[in-house]
Amino acid sequence: MPDEYLNVGRARDLKGKDRIIYRSFEILPGFLTWLTLGALFLGSRLFPVYIAFFIIIFDLYWLIKTVYLSVHLRVNWKKMRHYMNLDWQERLRNFKYDHIWQMIILPFYKESFDVVSTTLESLASANWNRRKMIVVLAYEERAGAEAEKIAQKAVLKYKEKFTHLLMVRHPKDLPGEMAGKGSNSAFAAEEARKEILDKNNIKYDDVLVSAFDIDTRVYPQYFLCLTWHFLTCEKPYRSSFQPVPVYNNNIWDAPAFSRVVSTSGTFWQMIEQERPEQLVTFSSHSMTFKSLYKLGYWQKNIVSEDSRIFWSSLLRFDGDYRVIPISYPVSMDANIGPSFWQTIKNVYKQQRRWAWGTSENAVYILFGFLKNKKISLKTKFQQVFIQFEGAWSAATNPLIIFFLGWLPLALGGEAFNKTILSYNLPRMTRDIMTLAMIGLIVSTIISMSLLPSRPPGKKKYKYLFMILQWILIPITIPIFGSIPNIDAQTRLMFGKYLGFWVTPKYRKK
């Protein structure tokens, strides 16, 4: 079939020449990263003057980029606050939308009933006609009898609140599947199509599908805001809709480093909302069932299904697909484990999984663009550059900024260390980075405004820790940014493929 390349997960899924090409692409992200790091080490020994000038120029570039990103962050912050205060029902007053259905797919593994229940409570409290809401609770057979009991308990508790509440068991070890969110969501969507849409003669065109993580809580007007964007965008059936993930559910219980990593992820998504030309679907997102069905649902043999659904759509519809930023939040869990060290492991593994998805998708679109001749060269070049530059910068930039800038002094030898440049290099780097760190003031202000109310039992002085946590940035960015990206890219380079790792949803009682 001519569109078989849309479902490729990794090189071993292909044969012959295509397998060789795809495998060479899998090597590319890691190769570029290690080439950069190796060149900096070797260059600092052989050409310390040139590397010193490169570091100064790079630091200046980072300062400009920091200002640029901070402006986008502030703009989206103001827009998000404005959107949360709008009356979206009033904005929809002149639109006909009573034909629109909301389908929410909630795949889960071994999460507790508390996690499942709080998500369903948020859906039940949302400002939307629950008769026009389809909730699909998709549990994994491989999670054992406990997961089935939790699903049954949830259905028993909430069946009166939702006209359509479907419990779906995702069988284990289906051919061609990787155990994970993508395969579970795809199976659940097909079951919902057969059991609810077709049996009730619901048109696929009228259904908006929200693929949520099981910890995703919607704010009251989410579905109204989503519907408004669907009805007003230029090509609703060639669009996905992306909210802003805010990791607030348990933020008051998370350790400082986990809060910084989680909030940094929120900030990045807010920045991307202001750059729609490079926005892709992430975590919890929405699209029409019509497009989803035509595409064949989420890919079942990959780690990062949430962003892959966008790239598959872009290729399937010959470049005529986009992500619409809706600048409205959904609330999710910050990463917490039962102990401090387990939290560190969980945060690292989650960041590595996301890093794997970035590199995996960069390879996928590069191969897909070779196969699809209908997409313009401009789109191909732009998207390939954005994805590969993103993977490269995430792996290398924090190390260059915080550590490798000192290499010419350490490796340049006595002759270089006697120069005026060697004397000024650390001072110039320090001053430029100090200016760049002013962006932390913006981060602190915005993070405090996003905090939910202080829960009972939390002392007021905890607010001080929420402010001081941002001094951890020089530690969290390399450890939970560069290193997991290098880890993921190196594994991909050597064909040591990752499976899907489910982020545990631990909540303190």
| Residue type for position 414 | E
Handedness of CA 472, 340, 343, 273 (dihedral sign): negative
Over its length of 509 residues, how does the chain's per-residue pLDDT go in tens digits? Answer: 457 889 999 999 999 999 999 999 999 999 999 999 999 999 999 999 999 999 999 989 988 998 899 999 999 999 999 999 999 999 999 999 999 999 999 999 999 999 999 999 999 999 999 999 999 999 999 999 999 999 999 999 999 999 999 999 999 989 989 989 999 999 999 999 999 999 999 999 999 999 999 999 999 999 999 999 999 999 999 999 999 999 999 999 999 999 999 999 999 999 999 999 999 999 999 999 999 999 999 999 999 999 999 999 999 999 999 999 999 999 999 999 999 999 999 999 999 999 999 999 999 999 999 999 999 999 999 999 999 999 999 999 999 988 888 889 889 888 888 888 888 888 888 888 778 777 788 888 999 999 998 888 888 888 998 999 999 998 999 999 999 999 999 999 999 999 888 888 887 76
Global pTM? 0.94
Q: Are 264 and 282 in the same domain?
A: yes
> Is 422 within a domain?
yes
**What is the torsion angle, in degrees rounded to the nearest 10, for the CA atoms of residue 56, residue 61, residue 62 and residue 65?**
170
Closest CA to 452 of 229, 157, 137, 118: 118
245 C-beta neighbours (distance < 10 Å), count = 22
Q: What is the pLDDT of residue 1?
A: 44
97 and 59 in one domain? no
Is the domain of 182 the same as that of 301?
yes
User: Is 347 within a domain?
Assistant: no
Shared-domain flag, residues 209 and 293:
yes
- DSSP letters, 59-118, are HHHHHHHHHHHHHHHHHHHHHHHHHHHS-HHHHTTTS--TT-EEEEEEEESS--HHHHHH
Whether residue 147 is found in the same domain as residue 290: yes
- The tokens describing 505, both together, are 């949803």
Residues 185, 318, single domain; the answer is yes
Of 299, 323, 338, the one marking the end of a domain is 338
Short-list 323, 325, 328, CA closest to 383: 323
φ, ψ of residue 138 to 5 degrees: the values are -110, 110
Domain assignment present for residue 128? The answer is yes
Under DSSP, is residue 452 helix (H, G, I), strand (E, B) or coil? Answer: coil
Does any domain span residue 498?
no
Please give the residue range of the domain that contains residue 460: 4-67+388-493
Neighbours of 346 (CB within 10 A): 19
Same structural domain, 41 and 138? no
pLDDT at position 2: 58
Please indicate, yes or no, if residue 114 is contained in any of the structural domains. Answer: yes
Considering its fold, how many domains does the chain have in total?
A: 2
Last residue of a domain, one of 278, 303, 338: 338
Instruction: Give the CATH number, domain containing residue 155.
Output: 3.90.550.10
Q: Identify the sign of the CA torsion 15, 358, 168, 237.
A: negative
Q: Say if residues 158 and 120 touch (Cβ distance below 8 Å).
A: yes
Query: CA-CA distance, 249 to 452, in Å (whole number)?
Result: 8
